[in-house]
């Protein structure tokens, strides 16, 4: 394995390295996330759904605080996804409270506000959300600011590479170091949650590696022989032996979507030129591929392109500030969008 576990590899840019730098999260209010479950609470049932706004608050820490206040076990608290700590976010939590419930007006936690309380029939599960809405502010812009507008219009039309974000890999890539030890059999992780994080980090690294190779080659949106495509917004996958004009047209219209590998057990789903490309990109990661097969994961696929929905922006050149708002489906990363717009650091 040649990848550093303290510094993430560089993933290729779709439109060249941004010519503008900026600072993200000068304050938590510069990174606002609103969770969209995609459905309304049932209004009845043994669970209570809390709609919560939090500022600079860790999701898992807050879940434990809610459990302690309600007098239940932490395992009886559910949430759909982890939200950025250094941000202002809204999200839902479920608490198994078949009988009476506490007076939520008495719950006090710095930076936390309960917006809504509803009954629901079941516990929230990880990944059980439609997506998230983001409102981001980038300050102290430097460089060719005048070119930003055209660049954002381009990615609004063409989309961005659907990379897993850096947070997937932990602080300084720490999850990759743990994953390497786990997959090599040098460590045993009993904590189910941590084990899942490390395995997901390894799988995400392999996907990003393949996608970056295709971006660098200029074919991440161009179908090749042996593609595995997803049908619209379904989970159905089809292998395309040859990229016929009809298939290319459907991909251009967003009816079909190119995919990349989420590694696991079984034969790769791709074939032909795509299989050869994926094998070459992962040649230095053979041990990780074998390790992921041995932990029991099955071959899956993920979209190569992320279409940024509801994208709007305000560019204030005089104040050197950019404000972006957009919607992303579950599993997509706002930082993946932002890296194609500006480069820079978080304050």
- Which two tokens mark 51? 């709609």
Q: Are strands 343-346 and 20-24 parallel, antiparallel or unpaired?
A: parallel
Residue 116 pairs in a beta bridge with 51
> Could you tell me which residues come within 8 angstroms of residue 157 by beta carbon, excluding any fewer than 6 positions away?
none
Burial 111-144 (b: 16+ CB within 10 A, else e): ebebeeebebeebbeeebbebbbbbbbbbebebe
Question: Residues 231, 249: contact at Cβ < 8 Å?
Answer: no
Q: Give the phi and the psi of residue 230 in degrees, each rounded to 5.
A: -100, 140
> Could you tell me which residues come within 8 angstroms of residue 218 by beta carbon, excluding any fewer than 6 positions away?
none
Angle, helices 192-217 vs 272-281, to 10°: value is: 120
C-alpha 100/C-alpha 71 separation (Å) is: 11
Catalytic residue IDs = 84
Count of other CB atoms within 10 angstroms of residue 233: 9
Instruction: Kindly report the length of the chain.
Output: 347
């Amino acid at each position: 394995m040649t990848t550093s576990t303290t510094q993430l590899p560089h993933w290729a840019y779709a439109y060249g390295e941004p010519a503008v730098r900026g600072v993200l999260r000068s304050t938590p209010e510069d990174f606002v996330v609103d969770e969209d479950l995609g459905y309304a609470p049932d209004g009845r049932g043994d669970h209570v759904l809390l709609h919560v706004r939090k500022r600079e608050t860790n999701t898992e820490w807050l879940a434990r605080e809610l459990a302690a206040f309600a007098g239940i076990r932490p395992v009886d608290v559910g949430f759909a996804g982890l939200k950025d700590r250094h941000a202002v976010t809204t999200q839902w939590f479920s608490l198994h409270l078949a009988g009476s419930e506490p007076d939520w007006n008495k719950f006090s936690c710095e930076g936390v506000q309960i917006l809504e309380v509803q009954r629901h029939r079941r516990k929230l599960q990880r990944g059980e959300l439609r997506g998230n809405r983001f409102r981001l502010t980038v300050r102290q812009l430097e460089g060719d600011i005048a070119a930003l507008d055209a660049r954002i219009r381009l990615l609004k039309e063409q989309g961005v590479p659907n990379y897993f974000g850096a947070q997937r890999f932990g602080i300084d890539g720490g999850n990759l170091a743990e994953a390497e030890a786990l997959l090599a059999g040098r460590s045993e992780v009993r904590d189910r949650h941590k084990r899942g994080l490390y395995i997901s980090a390894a799988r995400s690294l392999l996907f990003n590696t393949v996608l970056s190779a295709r971006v660098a080659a200029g074919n991440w949106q161009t179908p090749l022989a042996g593609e595995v495509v997803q049908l619209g917004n379904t989970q159905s996958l089809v292998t395309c032996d040859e990229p016929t004009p009809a298939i290319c047209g459907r991909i251009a219209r967003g009816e079909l979507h190119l995919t990349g590998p989420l590694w696991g057990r079984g034969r790769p789903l791709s074939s032909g030129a795509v299989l050869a490309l994926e094998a070459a990109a992962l040649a230095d990661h053979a041990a990780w591929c074998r390790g992921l097969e041995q932990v029991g994961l099955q071959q899956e696929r993920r979209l190569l392109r992320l279409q940024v929905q509801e994208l709007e922006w305000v560019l204030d050149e005089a104040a050197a500030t950019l404000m972006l708002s957009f919607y992303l489906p579950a599993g997509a990363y706002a930082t993946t969008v932002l890296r194609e717009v500006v480069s820079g650091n978080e304050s």
